[in-house]
């Protein structure tokens, strides 16, 4: 138990008016007489608690002047483990999206680090000891992120100039924010698009202009939003179009068995140790990218459009390296 935890428990006993004796505190906190004396001195001298020994009661209590308010410990009080956990969370958030949350979180970090004065210094080494390696991150303009977050929380409409990378086109849109999503190291806004008259997902990094409007955001039924987000595979939300069936080699199966592609997925073990993964999908684009990362270790059984898309992508990839030739006594090499 850290000193802060002990002081907090001592304070609770004193605030309840129990006037615990030194022996009672030693038994309650399971520490030595010298440790309890140091804690009481710290409480009285450093934290300015009105602490005194009551000879009649045979214990310690708070003694107040007439009209004095009950004593409270200053500031926020956490255990060492709680402070470490909060600092770890802050560090992970900073690493997840460098710059986007850095300024808003800085005051919290400073306050938490002040609480470490009487604790072991391990938390000060978080940046050196803990690293989070995420998938490639697309740079988000911090001011845009804060504006989107504010509009989402305050329930206000947004005007955005959005660059759709797939079509290479820019368009001004008015949207009603519903959810902010953090998916695969990137931020997305799930919103009602007034241009399309439907729910859409917008990558925050593709927003070139963001402006909060005076009009309140249109509300979409929460169940409908959740169903739309979680209907198909990945960030391409929308009505479920079908189920993709993928078969993985026994070697790849060692990883696939532990992966969550979708909450409604089904994993079946096949003869020889291979596995069949059945996963709902809405659009094939993102599912295709995840299939391709397994290369020759996966075979698309269904649907036909995904099977053809993956086969075509693999053929184009192979063409990048030209025809392969076999050198005498050597492995295949690119021509």
- Domain harbouring 265, CATH code: 3.30.70
My answer on whether 179 and 246 are in the same domain is: no
My answer on whether 110 and 162 are in the same domain is: no
My answer on whether 119 and 186 are in the same domain is: no
Picking from 207, 230, 253, the residue at the C-terminal end of a domain is 230
Q: Identify whether 31 is part of a domain.
A: yes
Range of the domain at 246: 242-319
My answer on whether 165 and 91 are in the same domain is: no
232 contacts 240 by C-beta, under 8 angstroms: yes
Q: Identify whether 335 is part of a domain.
A: no
Q: Please identify every stretch of the chain with a pLDDT value under 50, giving residue numbers as ranges.
A: 118, 120-123
pLDDT for 77: 56
- Domain harbouring 197, CATH code: 2.30.30
Picking from 33, 62, 91, the residue at the C-terminal end of a domain is 62
Letter string b/e over residues 199-230, b meaning 16 or more CB atoms within 10 A of that residue's CB: bbbbbbbbbeebebeeeebeebeeeebeebbe
Q: Identify whether 310 is part of a domain.
A: yes
Please report where in the chains the tokens 């979180």 appear, as a residue. Answer: 105
pLDDT for 121: 47
Q: Which of 54, 47, 42 is nearest to 72 (CA)?
A: 47
My answer on whether 148 and 213 are in the same domain is: yes
Please report where in the chains the tokens 């241009």 appear, as a residue. Answer: 195
**Among the residues of the chain, which ranges form H helices?**
3-15, 22-29, 33-41, 80-96, 102-114, 126-129, 142-154, 222-230, 250-256, 284-292, 304-319
My answer on whether 106 and 155 are in the same domain is: no
Q: Identify whether 75 is part of a domain.
A: no
Q: Which of 168, 162, 244 is nearest to 200 (CA)?
A: 162
Q: Identify whether 236 is part of a domain.
A: no
My answer on whether 94 and 146 are in the same domain is: no
Report helix, strand or coil for 56: coil
| pLDDT tens per residue, range 66-107 | 888 888 877 655 666 666 676 677 666 666 555 566 666 666
My answer on whether 120 and 153 are in the same domain is: no
Token code pair at residue 128: 């050196």
pLDDT for 48: 86
Distance CA 225, CA 198 (A): 11
Residue 135 host element (H or E): none
Q: Identify whether 102 is part of a domain.
A: yes
Q: Identify whether 74 is part of a domain.
A: no
Q: Is the pTM higher than 0.85?
A: no
Distance CA 199, CA 217 (A): 13
Number of domains in the chain: 4
Distance CA 335, CA 331 (A): 12
84 contacts 77 by C-beta, under 8 angstroms: no
My answer on whether 199 and 253 are in the same domain is: no
My answer on whether 251 and 314 are in the same domain is: yes
My answer on whether 269 and 312 are in the same domain is: yes
Q: Identify whether 330 is part of a domain.
A: no
pLDDT for 138: 73
Distance CA 152, CA 188 (A): 12
Positive or negative, the Cα torsion across 243, 247, 252, 256? positive
Picking from 230, 256, 278, the residue at the C-terminal end of a domain is 230
My answer on whether 274 and 223 are in the same domain is: no
């Amino acid at each position: 138990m850290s000193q802060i935890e002990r002081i907090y428990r001592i304070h609770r006993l004193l605030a309840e008016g129990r006037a615990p004796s030194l022996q009672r505190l030693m038994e309650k906190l399971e520490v030595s007489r010298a440790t309890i004396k140091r804690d009481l001195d710290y409480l009285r001298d450093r934290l300015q608690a009105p602490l005194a020994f009551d000879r009649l009661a045979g214990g310690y209590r708070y003694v107040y002047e007439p009209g004095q308010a009950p004593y409270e410990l200053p500031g926020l009080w956490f255990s060492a483990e709680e402070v470490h956990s909060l600092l770890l969370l802050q560090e992970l958030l900073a690493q997840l999206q460098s710059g986007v949350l850095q300024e808003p979180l800085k005051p919290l970090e400073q306050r938490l680090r002040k609480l470490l004065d009487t604790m072991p210094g391990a938390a000060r080494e978080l940046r050196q000891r803990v690293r989070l390696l995420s998938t490639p991150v697309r740079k988000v303009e911090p001011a845009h992120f804060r504006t989107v977050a504010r509009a989402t929380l305050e329930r206000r409409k947004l005007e955005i100039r959005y660059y759709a990378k797939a079509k290479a086109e820019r368009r001004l849109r008015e949207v009603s924010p519903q959810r902010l999503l953090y998916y695969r190291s990137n931020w997305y806004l799930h919103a009602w698009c007034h241009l399309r008259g439907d729910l859409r997902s917008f990558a925050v990094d593709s927003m070139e202009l963001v402006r909060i409007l005076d009009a309140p955001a249109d509300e979409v039924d929460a169940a409908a939003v959740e169903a739309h987000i979680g209907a198909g595979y990945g960030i391409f939300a929308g009505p479920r179009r079908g189920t993709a069936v993928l078969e993985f080699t026994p070697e790849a199966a060692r990883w696939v068995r532990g992966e969550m592609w979708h909450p409604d997925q089904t994993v079946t073990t096949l003869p020889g140790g291979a596995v069949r993964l059945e996963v709902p999908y809405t659009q094939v684009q993102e599912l295709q990218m995840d299939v391709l990362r397994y290369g020759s270790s996966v075979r698309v059984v269904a649907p036909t459009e995904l099977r053809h898309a993956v086969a075509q992508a693999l053929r184009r990839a192979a063409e990048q390296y030209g025809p392969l030739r076999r050198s005498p006594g050597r492995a295949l090499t690119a021509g």
